[in-house]
Amino acid sequence: MTHPKLLTEYDACDLVEMLQAQKVTVRAVLEACLARITTINPSVNAIVSLRPNADLLAEADAMDAAGPRPDQPLWGLPMAIKDLEDTKGLRSTSGSPIFTDHIPDADSIMVARLRAAGVLIIGKTNVPEFGLGSHSYNPIFGVTRNPYDTSTSAGGSSGGAAVALATGMVSLADGSDMMGSLRNPAGWNNVYGFRPSAGLVAKDPQGDAWSQGLSTNGPMARSPRDMDMMLKVIGQPDPRQPISLPAYNGMEKINPKNVTIGWIRDWSGYLPMENGVLAQCEVALDILRNLGCEIVEYTPKIAPESLWDSWCILRSHSVALSSIALYRDPQKRAHLKDAHVWEIERGLSYSTTDIHHAGIIRSDWFREIARLTHINLLALPSAQLFPFNADLDWPKSIAGKQMDSYHRWMEVVVPASLIGLPAVSIPAGFGAKNLPMGLQLIGKNAQDAQVLGLADLYHQATQLPQNHPPRPE
């Protein structure tokens, strides 16, 4: 006997359709969301800085009284915003003691677009300090735990967002991705995370707008269709940004018989993988093969060591420039975690020749992908190991190989991040300990609509988030 479907189990697209048709009230959806948070959040710690219930319910009632608006495609949908984003009037800490009491007086550009689209912002989702590291813990809110095994990590830096989705506390979430932060937590929580092409989701108009960043915001959800709906809202150009792509207009319908996927595996043994990771990803590839895709083995021509060197230089340089004011203030520097200080000092140590050389490697890699004519997408695991013990700061070894930095264990996400390619993490199923794994599908530049279209075909065939939800309670 099946139980009646709860409001928290509906996909975001279905909820929005019901809200727009006034088949359900904003208050009813919000109350279901808050009840789920009350039940689940204490065991996983995904939602932080939750607004007072009375304020939220009053806002919901006002929305119901005014009625839905056709110009607000996400009208009435509750969302919690990643705690790296400034959110007007709502505590926004970036997981750092430096910003414990920070309450912005304006929204970031992405939050402003979500709010204008009708989202009801309920609170924030937990992150690592300043988003550094793929394990969501910080000294303000503590550790976010994986709902499939609360003794393990939820990933990061969008760990809180992924857990909130997986457990039904929200139906749609935002994330950001520099080094897999939309992909690693999605893979570890049996949901979808999409890193858009560089320049598709506009950044805040400040600083050096000409310098192409390594990070981007993007959507997370329990289905590609929901991510597609959100990307139509946030994937819009901003006239103040000199480097941007045209507006995102929706995912394409894909004929899988025209799709060839290059399976990089472990890059001929270069990337250490925990036992079971590759086998689980190959289960997902078999599903894509059965849908009609051609799967071929592919080993990139570029040396993987050079990509890592380029990444480390450009990432540390970027972190150093964005954090230099904090580092130079002795009181604030004392509150930075060791990994952050290490990144800053390493970034400041590089010469202009080092940075130029890293840029050449980055450009060579982009050109190699652009020249691929017989392969449409690349495939890699979303992580090199299954969720690890949540009490650790980061895994020190994988398959017997020592990790020489706090982020080396996530090297598998660098090929997409380094050159800003669109990449989706799709659920690949569960390993021997019943812990989730994800598979990255990486498209070519600006092929966001095609990547999401293929992910949607896969979802229609599998429905893994819906068929295998966690039971943390």
| Residues classed as catalytic | 82, 157, 181
C-alpha 327: how far from chain center: 27
309 sits in which H/E element? helix 304-328
Contact 431, 388 (CB under 8 A): no
Six token digits for residue 115: 């709010």
Contacts of residue 344, Cβ cutoff 8 Å, sequence gap at least 6? 316, 319, 320, 323, 324, 327, 336
The C-alpha atoms of residue 263 and residue 428 are separated, in whole angstroms, by: 14
Question: Among residues 381, 378, 435, which one has the least CA distance to residue 409?
Answer: 381
For β-strands 137-138 and 120-125, DSSP reports them as unpaired
Residue 276 Cα distances to 286, 383, 431, angstroms: 15, 12, 6
Strand partners, 436: 430
Question: What are 318-326's contacts with CB under 8 Å, separation 24+?
Answer: 318/213, 318/214, 318/347, 319/132, 319/343, 319/344, 319/347, 320/344, 320/345, 320/346, 320/347, 320/348, 321/347, 323/130, 324/348, 326/98
Contacts of residue 224, Cβ cutoff 8 Å, sequence gap at least 6? 192, 194, 251, 424, 452, 453, 455, 456, 458, 459
Contact 449, 282 (CB under 8 A): no
The C-alpha atoms of residue 328 and residue 7 are separated, in whole angstroms, by: 49
Strand partners, 220: 173, 193
Residue 67 Cα distances to 12, 16, 18, 63, 117, angstroms: 18, 13, 13, 6, 14
Q: Is the peptide bond before 157 cis (omega within 30 degrees of 0)?
A: yes
